[in-house]
A and B are shown apart, each in its own frame.
Chain A
Amino acid sequence: MTTERPSSTEYDPNAQVHLGVFQTGVGPQLIWADPSSAPHMAIETFVGVVQLLERGLFDAFFLGEGLRVRENRGRAYDLDVAGRPDAITQLSALAAVTERIGLVATQNTTYNFPADLARRLASLDLLSDGRAGWNIVTTDNAWTGANFRHGGWLEHERRYERAGQFVEAAKALWGSWDGGIDGVVAAAGDAKSWARPGSITPVERHTDLVELRATATLPASRQGRPVLFQAGDSDGGRDLAARHADVVFSANTEYDKALAYAQDVRARLARYGRSPDSLRILPGAGVVLGDTPAEAQERARWVRSEQMSGPRAVAFFEQYWGTDLSAYDPDGPLPDIEPSEAELDPSRGTLRIDQRNGKLATIARWRELAEQRNLSMRELALEVAPGHPPFVGTPAQIADEWAHYVRTRAVDGFNLLPHLIPSSLEDIVEKLVPALQERGVYRTEYTGTTLREHLALPPLDV
């Protein structure tokens, strides 16, 4: 049973849980060694997942992005699922075999051309008849940039400035057909011209961060433009979200942190003259279900131990030590050799930002912890590596918890990170969704057709 917490001043008895699935496509959270794991690059796997989620009345399916194959000490990192399709290409393929679910592509603002990306997103939005979304990311490191024409061109401090100008230019292009498709295109073949003269306005931007002159080849879709998602807990990320985003991802799943985050972001919204309901907050979250609480806990332990195999534990510490540790037994103690002095390489793509600095102090802390509790390398990695699923329990337990989260306005829903495809999602659709529906916090049918409608976002100003 949940109790009203004093820290939330709001209570909305009609609040709804909005759900998406964030398929990163790579990374340590995906279990591949289990026989039930579907081949992760096969188009059938994607079609199966997205149709499953549509049956589960999900708002959206997301694809992640990483523009360089992750490495460990200069070679492709070999222990995790790797290899992914181009997101907009894949979502266009999935648009054809779905009717309602939103399709969200993670796309970078540093290593794309604004008019080119805006056009590809607009195409997905029209092909899906108003179901496209764009998860805006600002990856700017030179290591990723080594795959692009202007690798490492952008100063790290200016990445959100570039992103803001990029998004603003994209919005201008999406809105540049005056009156939309019906306001521009002739109603029949006997018209004087295909387009009403003067109804399409070229967009020009000339700054040191965005330089373009382009005429949009596409009108707005039925939802007005792709729904904009933004992740980022940093100050710059929160600000970009408050200015431009329709949905914000966050890493804050723990209730008090989620609530504090929501209050901060809504205060920023007010500063930009936006209503509290114009931004949905969907933290990324792992879920492990069981028929009993004990079964769920047991299952969560299994998931974690699959995610942190012995070789992965060794590789995890290799990134911190900066040296080959393959001679060490993952079930033995931490290496007695000293780590290299060099700070962690920020560009390998396998480390979270908050773990990239002060590594010697971190290692000293871990040594102390391992000694105190007599932990092996693997046990320590299980303890300190990120990835603990925040929601472990029976469908009823989690449905109660989520109902409390949304009714007290701590979140608007979750972006689920599956650990095993497709079975972890099948469990959610078959067991958790009905439990949410019983509590009146989840739709029983789609009431709209566009992603914007699913998210219950206010209509765009035209």
Chain B
Amino acid sequence: MSDRAGLFLALDADGDGAHPAAWRFSGRPPAAVLGGRAVREVVATAEGAGFTLVTFADSPVPPSSGLEAAGRLEAGTRAAFVSTLTDRIGLAPTLHVTSTEPFHLATQLAGLDHASKGRAAWVVGAANSAAELATIGAQPLGADALRREITDVIDAARALWDSWEDDAVVKDVATGRYLDPDKVHHVDFAGAAFTITGPLITPRPPQGQVVVLAVDELDVADRADIVLVSGSDAAAVAAAATRARAAGAGMVFAEVEVVLDAAEPATSRLARLAEATPWPAAGRVRHVGSPAALVELLRRLADAVDGVRLHPAVLAVDLPVLAEHVLPALAAAGLHRGPRAGDTLRSTLGLPRPVNRFAAPATTNA
């Protein structure tokens, strides 16, 4: 548990919201979700409200068969699109280790970190259904191979992010050298299913290492910066957080679904959503009720976790309530402080900028 009192707040900003029927209640044409404006607006609202970061869910296949939303912009491009429109909020796309090239994945995230000046994060995805893997002409992996692929791709990305030392670009006019070749390294990564020589084509990300988030189920607490845990109530969340920390997690965020009182009470909103489509339980805390009660829940969770990731049922309805009532109340109670303009995500989170594995140890001239 962090010695810092309070909570970091992440927002999952996918589509029209976490509820499968969210598209029916967004007050805009359903197709709007496939344009830049929708992405721009939701992230601007989240940044204005003081969220620490936004996450963008993704999959190589459509989010539904068509009864609900079947369209989705790729997460990395959505995050990049808002990088030049924001100056403090963290941007965390889901990229899948199984259905992409690890080298491209590491490059895309490094590029996002440069474009956002140090606000990139990566939600590790491990798509492994037959349909998802068929998009690259492959078969699902067995449990052991999948686990190995996840750790290999994280390790490869982390090695590639270090492959340029911070001071590799020297621009020495006298010798005509743009870079110091001793500070740009082959990584010679050898995983079970792939190898990568390196270096990355992109200089080291401003944060040194992009912030890595992974859900508990991926079992990479020792490799992630933030582990996302689920539990159906506060006690279950606390138990999951304890287990994640024992497994090596540095920071732990709890997953929380929210349906809030708005113009219409939360319970009747949820009933109308459920009438259209049921919302299957994902084993997460689900708060259905008033903003004040949500503040109370988050206050209790703050004893067990460093942050929460909120999954609003309908972004168009719940996000304004979070912005107007929940975040200000948390701030007033000293439980949350939004990031400051120009800060990197690491500095907002209080995470140190990692030393480069290839850098020679600093010599002390005492």
Task: List A residues at the B interface (Cβ < 8 Å).
Answer: 32-33, 41, 43, 47, 66-69, 75-86, 88-90, 92-97, 111-113, 115-116, 119-120, 122-124, 126-129, 146-149, 151, 181-182, 184-191, 193-197, 199-200, 210-219, 309-312
Interface residues of B (CB under 8 A from A): 23-26, 29-31, 34-36, 39-40, 60-64, 66-74, 76-78, 80-85, 99-104, 107-108, 110-112, 114-117, 131, 134-137, 164, 169, 171, 173, 175-181, 184, 193-203
Is the pair B40, A119 in contact by a Cβ cutoff of 8 Å? no
What are 24 sample pairs from A and B whose C-beta atoms fall under 8 A apart?
A76-B179, A76-B181, A86-B108, A90-B111, A92-B81, A93-B81, A93-B115, A96-B81, A113-B135, A116-B99, A119-B74, A147-B196, A185-B29, A187-B30, A189-B24, A195-B70, A200-B62, A211-B137, A214-B60, A214-B134, A217-B71, A217-B72, A218-B71, A312-B176
Q: With A124-B77, A127-B36, A181-B34 given, is the CB distance from A217 to B83 under 8 Å? A: no
Contact in complex: A149, B194 (CB < 8 Å): yes
Residue among B60, B85, B178 making CB contact with A119, cutoff 8 Å: B60
Q: List the A side residues contacting B112 at CB < 8 Å.
A: 89
Chain A residue with the shortest CB-CB distance to B180: A78
| Option from A83, A200, A312 in Cβ contact (under 8 Å) with B70 | A200
**CB nearest to A315 among chain B residues:** B176
A47 touching B77 in the complex, CB below 8 Å, given contacts A189-B23, A217-B72: no
Of the residues B104, B194, B201, contact of A69 by C-beta under 8 Å: B201
Contact among B108, B134, B176 for A89, CB-based, below 8 A: B108
> A148 to chain B: which residues have CB within 8 Å?
101, 103, 194, 196
Bound-state CA distance A85–B123 (Å) is: 20
Which residues of the partner chain A approach B104 to less than 8 Å between Cβ atoms? 86, 112
- A96 engages B40 (CB within 8 Å): yes
Chain A residues closer than 8 Å to B117, beta-carbon distance: 43
Asked whether B77 lies within 8 Å of A120 as measured between CB atoms, the reply is: yes
Partner of B84, one of A94, A210, A309: A94
Known contacts A78-B180, A93-B115, A189-B30: A43-B136 contact under CB 8 Å: no
Could you tell me if B171 and A219 are in contact, using CB atoms closer than 8 angstroms?
no
| Chain B residues with CB below 8 A from A128, complex form | 36
Contact partner, A115, options B31, B60, B164, B175, Cβ 8 Å: B60
Give Cα distance in the complex from A185 to B31, angstroms: 6
**B residues in contact with A75, CB < 8 Å:** 181
Measured CB to CB, the closest approach of chain B to A306, in angstroms, equals 10
Q: Which residue of A lies closest to B136 (CB)?
A: A113
Q: Please determine whether B135 and A214 come into contact, CB atoms closer than 8 angstroms.
A: yes
- Cβ of B25 to closest chain A Cβ, rounded Å: 6
B77 touching A92, Cβ below 8 Å: yes
Q: A116 to B176, Cβ gap below 8 A? A: no
User: In the bound complex, do residue B77 and residue A89 qualify as a contact, i.e. CB atoms below 8 Å apart?
Assistant: yes
A90 B135 Cβ-Cβ under 8 A: no
- Contact assessment for B179 and A78 in the assembled complex, using a CB-CB cutoff below 8 Å: yes
> Can you add 16 more A-B contacts, CB < 8 Å, to A69-B184, A217-B63?
A32-B171, A43-B84, A43-B114, A89-B80, A89-B111, A96-B82, A115-B135, A116-B60, A119-B60, A148-B101, A148-B196, A194-B71, A195-B70, A200-B70, A212-B136, A213-B135
Please state if A311 and B30 are interface contacts (CB–CB under 8 Å). no
Of A88, A113, A122, A186, the contact of B30 (CB 8 Å cutoff) = A186
Report whether B178 and A81 are in contact in the complex, using a CB–CB cutoff of 8 Å.
yes
A120-B181 CB under 8 A given contacts A181-B31, A188-B29, A200-B66: no
Q: Which A residues are CB-close (under 8 A) to B66?
A: 193-197, 199-200
B36→A95 contact, CB < 8 A: yes
Known: A93-B83, A185-B31, A217-B62. A115 touches B76 (CB 8 A): no
Give chain B nearest CB distance to A178 CB in angstroms: 12
A127 x B111 contact (CB < 8 A): no
Please give me the residue from chain B that is nearest to A75 by CB atom. B181
Contact B80 A92 (CB under 8 A): yes
Known contacts A79-B176, A90-B111, A126-B35; is-contact A194 B77 (Cβ 8 Å): no
Chain A residues with Cβ below 8 Å from B193 are 149
CA distance A181 to B102 in the complex (A): 32
Report the bound CA distance from A195 to B71 in whole Å: 9
CB atoms of B134 and A88 under 8 A apart: no
- Bound CA–CA A189/B29 (angstroms): 7
B107 CB contacts on chain A under 8 angstroms: 85-86, 89
